[in-house]
Amino acid sequence: MRRLMVVAIASSLAFGFTSVHALPGPTACMFVGVAGLHVLPDGSLTDSPSPDEQERYVRLTLESRERIANTFGEPKAKPVLVYFSRPDGFGPFKLNAFGSTQFIGPHTCVMIGPAGQSIDVVAHELMHAEIHERAGFWSRFMKIPTWFDEGLAMQVDFRPKYLLAAEDAHGLDEVRHLTSFSSFFSGGEQVIISHYAKARVLVANWVERVGRAAVYQQLHQLRYGQSFAEAIE
Ligand SMILES: [Zn+2]
């Protein structure tokens, strides 16, 4: 058990980066299989025993995957998808009430909380899992800057608060400097919202240039030695 804890902590430190509204939960991803959750017909997991809620989760997953399919083509990633109903997580695990995506090597978990039960949030998080699937764990980790990862996830996330305000439209390219998780998510809430909004526009411009149908292929190229600048920019 002690050894297990050491592995869990080491993994948290090494790979504990999450996406929107970050709170680390990689240990939850490691141990989700033994958390005693209900298994839904599509393989997703939840702590909710309510048949109505379970049915809603299945529909939400379906509609979120459809949004990705309609935007970039059929998604291939098969993350462990967890819907939890308490705002602070499930079991002993503390998680973000909206949503987060956890990566433990090739293993991916998308954890959706009660505040994130919308197609926007679920599609956003599933898109992170898709980027990971297409680019591969190490390429994503080593090569893809956070502004691009978030900007691409925002292409399937239509929440109006992340639309770029006219007064923020200047200095769009400054977002390219936000290559790390810590730089992208630094500043107050409004600053971070403007990072998302700018990244969304920058990546939308890129998608328009390469074409939606080519996005998965562009990500895939990162697996074969190409740098981000060569494959994407
Ligand atoms: Zn994100």
For residue range 10-43, what is the model confidence (pLDDT) as tens digits? 333 333 333 433 345 788 888 888 788 999 999 9
Ligand 1 geometric centre to CA of 201 (Å): 15
Residue 113 pLDDT > 80: yes
Ligand 1 geometric centre to CA of 157 (Å): 9
Residue 188 pLDDT > 50: yes
Confidence of residue 104 (pLDDT cuts 50, 70, 90): confident
Pairing mode of beta strands 107-112, 80-83: parallel
Tell me the pTM: 0.87
For residue range 177-187, what is the model confidence (pLDDT) as tens digits? 999 999 999 99
Ligand 1 geometric centre to CA of 2 (Å): 33
Ligand 1 geometric centre to CA of 168 (Å): 20
Residue 50 pLDDT > 80: yes
Please tell me the CATH code under which domain 2-231 is placed: 1.10.390
Ligand 1 geometric centre to CA of 230 (Å): 23
Give the whole-angstrom CA distance, residue 46 versus residue 35: 10
Range name among 21-25, 125-129, 165-169 with the lowest pLDDT average:
21-25
**Confidence at residue 217, expressed as pLDDT on a 0 to 100 scale:** 94
Ligand 1 geometric centre to CA of 125 (Å): 6
Radius of gyration, CA atoms only, the chain: 17
Q: What is the mean pLDDT of residues 79-90?
A: 92
Give the whole-angstrom CA distance, residue 18 versus residue 116: 15
Q: Report the mean per-residue pLDDT for the chain.
A: 87
Give the whole-angstrom CA distance, residue 70 versus residue 85: 28
Ligand 1 geometric centre to CA of 3 (Å): 32
Q: Where are the domains of the chain?
A: 2-231
Ligand 1 geometric centre to CA of 128 (Å): 7
**Confidence at residue 24, expressed as pLDDT on a 0 to 100 scale:** 57
- Residue 104's DSSP bridge partners are 107
Share of the chain above pLDDT 90, in %: 66
Ligand 1 geometric centre to CA of 10 (Å): 23
Tell me which of 170 and 66 has the higher pLDDT.
Answer: 66
Residue 7 pLDDT > 70: no
